[in-house]
Each structure stands twice: as C-alpha cells, then as structure tokens.
C-alpha cells in the first residue's frame, strides 16, 4: 500500500450533553436577549471549545424572571468514551465580566410547551378541561380572537 492511501482508524461518534451556567441573558451594551447565534460566537471565542463540534444550535433558557442569567444547553459530537466532553466538564471561561461553568447534563429532548395554557413544562394532554388560552395575554380565548376579547 502506498503511504498516502493509508487510512487512519476512526472511532464511532456519539453525542454528549452539556450545560453552561452563568452566561448573562441580557447584553450590557445592547440590552438585547441572548440567542443561540450569540452563544456560538462566545464558544468560538474561547479556546476550550476549539475541538468541539455542536450537533444542534445551543438552547438558551433564562434562569428566572427575576434574574438576568441564563443556562445554555449544548449537544456536541463526541467519541464513545466521551473524551471531548471530559476535557471541558467543570472548566470555567470568561463571558464579559462573568465566569461561566460547563457541566455534564442528561439527554433532554426539549422542554414541552403546553398549547392550552402556553406555559413551559406543561403537557397539553393532562388537563381535564381542554380550554385554550391566548398566547398574548393568557386569557381564556384563542390567540386569533385576541383583538376582539382583550
């Protein structure tokens, strides 16, 4: 075999699930909310994520209505033995004047959004009364009728 035709062995890939704490939800300069594109820029700017390839866009969730911090969930391509995830778990990095921390997370298919009450974490099928609520004002009418009933 010719030397340039030799193929190096490749490990099969799997996904690792991580969450990042203490990233500010609002920008100091623009006062705009944090979006997944912003998180991708933050990750590219930090050297600990040099060899990391994201499976999906990062998911940003505000911690609480009273706090201006967020939790970001990222799914990365990894080896079967999770070697890439192990190199960044419990690592810290700077985001503006804050220190963010990477931690291991469980696989999360997403947070359900109730189509009846428009609240995160609720499942539509568990209610006895199947009444709709408006997305705009959370009143007991459909969103398409908001102008008539609000």
Mean pLDDT, the chain, as a whole number?
79
Question: Given this model, what pLDDT does residue 122 score?
Answer: 56
> Tokens representing 40?
């991708």
Position with higher pLDDT, 8 vs 49: 49
Q: Which residue has the higher pLDDT, 44 or 14?
A: 44
Domains in the chain: ranges and CATH? 12-104 (3.30.70.330), 111-150 (no CATH)
pLDDT confidence of residue 85: 92
**16 close to 76: Cβ distance less than 8 angstroms:** yes
Q: What is the pLDDT of residue 1?
A: 44
Structure confidence by residue, pLDDT tens digits, 44-103: 999 999 989 999 899 998 887 778 889 999 999 988 888 899 999 999 999 888 899 999
């Amino acid at each position: 075999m010719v030397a340039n035709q030799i193929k190096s062995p490749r490990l099969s890939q799997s996904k690792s699930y991580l969450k990042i704490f203490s990233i500010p939800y609002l920008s100091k300069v623009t006062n705009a909310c944090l979006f997944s594109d912003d998180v991708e820029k933050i990750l590219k700017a930090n050297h600990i994520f040099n060899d990391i390839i994201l499976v999906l866009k990062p998911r940003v969730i505000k911690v609480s209505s009273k706090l201006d911090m967020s939790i970001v969930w990222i799914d990365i391509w990894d080896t079967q033995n999770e070697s890439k995830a192990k190199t960044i778990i419990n690592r810290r990095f700077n985001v503006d004047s804050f220190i963010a921390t990477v931690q291991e997370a469980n696989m999360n298919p997403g947070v359900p959004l109730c189509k009846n009450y428009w609240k995160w974490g609720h499942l539509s099928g568990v209610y006895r009364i199947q009444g709709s609520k408006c997305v705009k004002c959370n009143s007991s009418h459909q969103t398409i009728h908001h102008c008539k009933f609000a």
